[in-house]
Structure 1
Amino acid sequence: MQVTKPHFLDLIKNKKWRELKRSLQDMDALDLSLMVENFSKNDKIILFRLLSREQAKNVFKMLSQSDQEEVIEGLSENSQKLSRLLNDIEPDDRTAFFEDLPRDIAQSFIEMLSPEERKITVQLLSYPKDSIGRLMTPEFVAIKEDMSVAKAFEHIREFGQDSETLNVIYIIDNDWKLIDDISIKDLILASPEQQVSELLDHRFVFLSAKDDQETAIQVFKDYDREAMPVLSEEGVLLGIVTFDDILDVIEEESTEDFHKFGSIQNASKNPLKERILILYKNRIVWLVLLVFMNVFSGAALASFEDVIQQVVALVFFLPLLIDSGGNAGSQSATLMIRYLALGEIQLSDWYKLIGRELLVSFLLGLTMAASVAAVASFRAPEVIVVVCIAMVINVMLGSLIGMLLPFIFTKLKIDPATASAPLVTSLADICGVLIYFSLAARYFGF
């Protein structure tokens, strides 16, 4: 019988530990991790004390960082249980957990590891943050090319139990330099008497331990692999990166880009558990900067005070015009950032896109001008010409700003996601006010 959250809490309340432990044994790790997401800290600890070592390891890796920290803190009273869990966690998952902890706390946990696991952890943490070395695991199976297929399977059976994946087997020389990789399918279909060397084509794809994690995303996307070997500068096989680790990186990168596009400085792990001060600090910097940017819009309005006093109807269309320019710019920026991230366009393609963007934005501007003309014909027919021309120009200019900013930021080695919607909108607002009232002043003879 699968345990539901209410049933779980009821068993805890009535201290039916044996029944609870027996019920948990048949539950999947994913179901367990989903069930305990909203548990209190105390209930999480009870759960982990009842799980088997294998279950505890698998459930732990599926929890959020904040939930993981609660579990570790709760188990700290039982150093043996905590040490066992930290040693059981896969090296790459353990590295991901440790790198987000304060250094002194991470170090205290590292001291609880066995000598072998400690050596692995220290090595992985020695690689630069966000490098592929932080993602890899040393748990893989490697064989020699002079083995027979039958001998290779004996080796796999002996050493493959703790491997992260057995879908790909790596071929190394005596110095642990990678020669090739081979799928387990090819080994299974080969004759037991064949030499492994007869199955090799010496064509393989690899990653460097010091490369950025975004490199791994692109390589996995290009070559459609389940796992990828990670080599040192000398070609020595250090570990492997698996597809599930890349999915986690993609999720983190996407979350970070969404936050940047909303002008939020740092991503929050969980807004329900994050401190108010942290949430405030993550958002206030860009908001204050944008306030000062929008002062220019106010200054532009003040310089056209005479025009506004004489033709008050112009004010009615001001929000509509500047919002349209900002919205068009945000659309364009979103598309460019996405195309750059996917590699569908390159930095050198910016000049090829200008003509296309001008034509598209001109057509958009004309359509929106027709719409605003219909509104102006009822509200203020005398400003139709000014409003329509301003609409076309604002939409075209806003689109160009939104298109070019990601390229400029990329050229300056800044994440193009920083060319966020609020920034594009603020720039389009300033330009929109100047264009609109400059046209009005000339048209009405001020």
Structure 2
Amino acid sequence: MSQENYAQISEVIESGDEQALIDLFEEMPAADIAGFIDENFEIYESLALMDKMSPEVQAEVFGYLRPNNQQVLASHMEVGLLAKLFRDMSSDERADVYALLDVKLQDALMRRLAKHDRDDLLRLSSYEEGTVGSVMTSDYAVIPASGTVEHALRRLRQTAPEKETIYQAYVIDNDYRLQGVVSLRDLITAAPHERIEDIMVTDLITLTPDMPQAESARIISRYDLIAIPVVSETGVLVGIVTFDDAMDVVEMEDTETMHKSATVGKIEGGLKDASVGMLYRKRINWLVLLVFANIFSGAGIAYFEDTISAYIALLFFLPLLIASGGNAGAQAATLMVRGIATGDVTRSDWFRMLGKELLVSLGLGLTMAVAIALVGSLRAGPDIMLVVALSMLAIVLVGSLIGVMLPFLLHRLNWDPATASAPLVTTIADATGVLIYFGMATSILGLPNI
């Protein structure tokens, strides 16, 4: 939130003017109010602030709070007040909050909700996490295919306050099967007597509830959609995914990908609220595994002890060469993981991307070989300079190819390509780089490799 809004809320709270605080909450964006509560979270103070909001503002603010804070506040609310809050929240947000509650509170809450709200909440919360069903909403406008424009507009006026979006109205038949969609602009510009079935768009892009949630964001972005309908196998309209929901999915997916690329597991509730124990558990497995993987680098160095003893100057260039290979591999892996995630790169692009990376890495390797050769000429003799330059070319080339191939290999095995993270690629490139460097030195300098 902006510092100006933060200071404004703090000033009004300190003044003790309750009416000014109520008026401020009516005017200020709900996201900024939620940001203030999150940053200054104390259970009873937060509940007292929310008590100064209208039911509509309270529901909107609650939806913007961090999940951990939502869970704590909900557990400290009287069940009747929580039920009232749920009735004012959007369907997808209350389903998310419901999933955070313990079973006892869920049961108590259900007894306070109307049957329609209860059925809707159970349906939305039943979908598996990470699927389209888990992020869709039931707050959308529907109109019958057999009606007229005048009838549709009258219906929208009646239902608009309860819906998340009315810019598109979904046309259904008597069995709630999706027939088409009509934009609000088309309804306004059409003649009142025109029939909906004559002006609706029937060539629709749809999703199913069991599809990965990332697919909804990709399709909405690709086709510049405001929302996309979700239908069952029989064509029944079960929900929609809106643009703002898709943006939340993008943020979650990007965060998860970044965590995987750093060999960190998924952190529930965000970094700020994560416990020390959770952060330890999410990070320790890969770190221990990579420790043992780095033993191969040490074994490679030990294997070439005679070469190193004869030319101590080789050790000066070891960190430069190994780091260069790891960095090049990490760059290539990052590009491939992102390309696969966005659909820009598919399995059929394997040989094309491999060939392209071969040319790019050759260029990179030659440039870096020239740079390291200049350093080598000052630090050691021409023989070692040649070893270092050729090693740089080979190490960068191999490291880059490892960075390209590993995500493709994991993708082909139906594993998450993000697992081909920078630490993993770097570890493999390091071990390979040690063997290339000292193997080349032994060959060129004519020393035994025992």
TM-score category, normalised to shorter length: over 0.9
Q: Partner residue of 1:407?
A: 408
Structure 1 counterpart of 2:59, which letter? K
Query: Does 2:405 correspond to 1:373?
Result: no
How far 1:262 sits from its partner (Å)?
0.9
Match of 1:167, SS state, is strand
How far 1:173 sits from its partner (Å)?
1.0
Q: What TM-score comes out, normalization by structure 1 length?
A: 0.94
> Structure 1's 278 and 114: CA in aligned 2 closer, same or farther, altered over 3 A?
same
Q: In 1, distance between residues paired with 2:144 and 2:5?
A: 49
Correspondent of 1:61 among 53, 63, 85:
63
Q: Partner residue of 1:432?
A: 433
> Structure 1's 208 and 54: CA in aligned 2 closer, same or farther, altered over 3 A?
same
Query: Once the two structures are aligned, what percentage of the paired residues are identical?
Result: 38
Q: Partner residue of 1:262?
A: 262
Q: Partner residue of 1:416?
A: 417
Q: Partner residue of 1:218?
A: 218
Match of 1:99, SS state, is helix
> Structure 1's 357 and 6: CA in aligned 2 closer, same or farther, altered over 3 A?
closer
Q: Partner residue of 2:243?
A: 243
Query: Does 2:325 correspond to 1:325?
Result: yes
1:248-297 CA deviation, whole Å, 9 max, x = no partner? 00000000000111111223534333211111111111111110100111
Structure 1 counterpart of 2:64, which letter? M
Query: After the TM superposition, which of the residue ranges 267-276 and 242-251 deviates more from structure 2?
Result: 267-276
Q: Partner residue of 1:71?
A: 73
Conserved in 1, the CA contact under 8 Å of 2:208 and 2:233? yes
Conserved in 2, the CA contact under 8 Å of 1:409 and 1:419? yes
How far 1:23 sits from its partner (Å)?
3.5
Q: In 2, distance between residues paired with 1:107 and 1:409?
A: 43
Q: Partner residue of 1:129?
A: 129
> Structure 1's 160 and 12: CA in aligned 2 closer, same or farther, altered over 3 A?
closer
Unaligned runs of 5+ in 1: none
Equivalenced residue count is 443
Structure 1 counterpart of 2:317, which letter? F
Conserved in 2, the CA contact under 8 Å of 1:3 and 1:23? no
Q: In 1, distance between residues paired with 2:82 and 2:398?
A: 59
Q: What TM-score comes out, normalization by structure 2 length?
A: 0.93
Conserved in 1, the CA contact under 8 Å of 2:55 and 2:85? yes
Q: In 2, distance between residues paired with 1:104 and 1:312?
A: 69
Matches within 5 A, 1:291-302: 291-302=291-302
Q: In 2, distance between residues paired with 1:79 and 1:28?
A: 27
Q: In 2, distance between residues paired with 1:88 and 1:254?
A: 30
Conserved in 1, the CA contact under 8 Å of 2:75 and 2:105? no
Structure 1 counterpart of 2:28, which letter? M
Conserved in 2, the CA contact under 8 Å of 1:3 and 1:24? no
Q: In 1, distance between residues paired with 2:288 and 2:373?
A: 36
Correspondent of 2:45 among 27, 43, 46:
43
Q: In 1, distance between residues paired with 2:8 and 2:176?
A: 52
Unaligned runs of 5+ in 2: none
Match of 2:181, SS state, is strand
Q: In 2, distance between residues paired with 1:102 and 1:326?
A: 46
Conserved in 1, the CA contact under 8 Å of 2:71 and 2:100? no
Conserved in 1, the CA contact under 8 Å of 2:141 and 2:159? yes
CA RMSD in angstroms comes to 2.0
Structure 1 counterpart of 2:119, which letter? K
Match of 2:136, SS state, is coil
Conserved in 2, the CA contact under 8 Å of 1:364 and 1:395? yes
> Structure 1's 243 and 378: CA in aligned 2 closer, same or farther, altered over 3 A?
same
